[in-house]
Amino acid sequence: MPDTKRKQKPEVSLIGTGRLGTTLALALRAKGYSIRSLVSRRAQSARKTATLVGEGVQVLSAKELGSLLPSGVFLITVPDDQIASVVAELTHLRFGQKTRATALHTSGALSAQVLDPLRKRRWHTGSIHPLVSISGAEQQSALSGAFWSVEGDKVALLLGKTIVRDLGGKSFSIRSEDKPLYHAAAVMASGNVVALFDVAMEMLAQCGLPRKTARSILLPLIASTVRNLESKDPAQALTGTFSRGDVETVKRHLEALDRSKLADALELYRLLGQRSLKLRKNHPQIRQILKSV
């Protein structure tokens, strides 16, 4: 017999149809959620997402937020510095709903406190942030298995965890005041890794390799490092020059970087080398060399 006690999934409206917003809209729709409205700074962007989601979706520009239809959940997926203005607009909405709406933003650095103007108007408020790199709406599958930071009031927390579970993810919670530090850690492990990869490609370009070739050469190396980290602590996963304590090799590296006038690469090599030595807690001679650069 069908489970008549099973709760119907709430209608969802998304404010912000960038990469994450569009990905979430498609992923939620695939999991049986009804997408009620899509809002973007430019209506054209929202319409583009609507064509992917399906028919019957309200499409609005940011200037038309006052015409937003009632929904059970409002996902705010705009950049961090736009959240406050979106919240200010939402406070003017009067839906006359018997049940309180829930607003969830997807910022990693901001807590639910940025939604306080809505909370004071009896909205439930919280945040859900996926620890995954989304570079395009076609990456819905990346949400499956991803970890999400979830926080907010009791109702928002429960709803956020339900959404994450429905999307095949796993949720965890931290103190609201720790969100900036948590997000900085995510940037360090993702965005900064991309920047570091670009530096490595620049170094290989100095060796005469095309960027496309450099990319192909470096990707398997990164993949092997990730595999090491999947089964080992960073101290045990560390390999190469600093792990072995190759003093003369470090000197050669520093000389080559200085000669090539790669200032960014030289500074990163020095700083990250010191961190590598901290993992091993040895090789004082190399540590002194790096400090003297």
Q: In this predicted model, what pLDDT tens digit does every residue of 131-157 receive, in sequence order?
A: 998 877 666 888 999 999 999 999 999
What residues pair up with 12 in beta bridges, in sequence order?
35, 73
Question: Average pLDDT for residues 102-123, to the nearest whole number?
Answer: 96
Q: How far apart are CA 183 and CA 181, in angstroms?
A: 5
Contact between 278 and 238 (Cβ < 8 Å): no
pLDDT at res. 1: 44
Which pLDDT band, with edges at 50, 70 and 90, does 74 fall under? very high
Q: What is the pLDDT of residues 21-53, one digit of tens each?
A: 999 999 999 999 999 999 999 999 999 999 999
Burial 128-167 (b: 16+ CB within 10 A, else e): bbbbbebeebebbebbeebebbbbbbeebbebbbebbeeb
Q: What 3-state class would DSSP assign to 95?
A: coil
Q: What is the 3-state secondary structure (H, E, C) of 158-191?
A: HHHHHHHHHCCCEEECCCHHHHHHHHHHHHHHCH
Query: What values do phi and psi take at 155, rounded to 5?
Result: -70, -45
Domain 189-291 has CATH 1.10.1040: yes
- Higher-confidence residue: 134 or 68? 68
Question: Average pLDDT for residues 111-116, to the nearest whole number?
Answer: 97
Give me the DSSP letters along 186-217: HHHHTHHHHHHHHHHHHHHHHTT--HHHHHHH
Q: Write the DSSP symbol of residue 2.
A: -
Mean pLDDT check: name the lowest of 59-68, 166-175, 275-284: 275-284
Which pLDDT band, with edges at 50, 70 and 90, does 2 fall under? very low
Tokens of 79: 């950049």
State the Rg of the chain over Cα.
Answer: 24
pLDDT at res. 280: 83
Q: Where are the domains of the chain?
A: 12-176, 189-291
pLDDT at res. 8: 84
Q: How far apart are CA 75 and CA 125, in angstroms?
A: 10
Burial 68-96 (b: 16+ CB within 10 A, else e): bebbbbbbbbbeeeebeebbebbeebeee
- CATH H-level superfamily of 12-176: NAD(P)-binding Rossmann-like Domain (3.40.50.720)
pLDDT at res. 4: 44
Strands 124-130 vs 147-152: parallel, antiparallel or unpaired: antiparallel
Residue 286 in this model has a pLDDT that exceeds 60 = yes
Matching CATH topology for 12-176 and 189-291? Answer: no
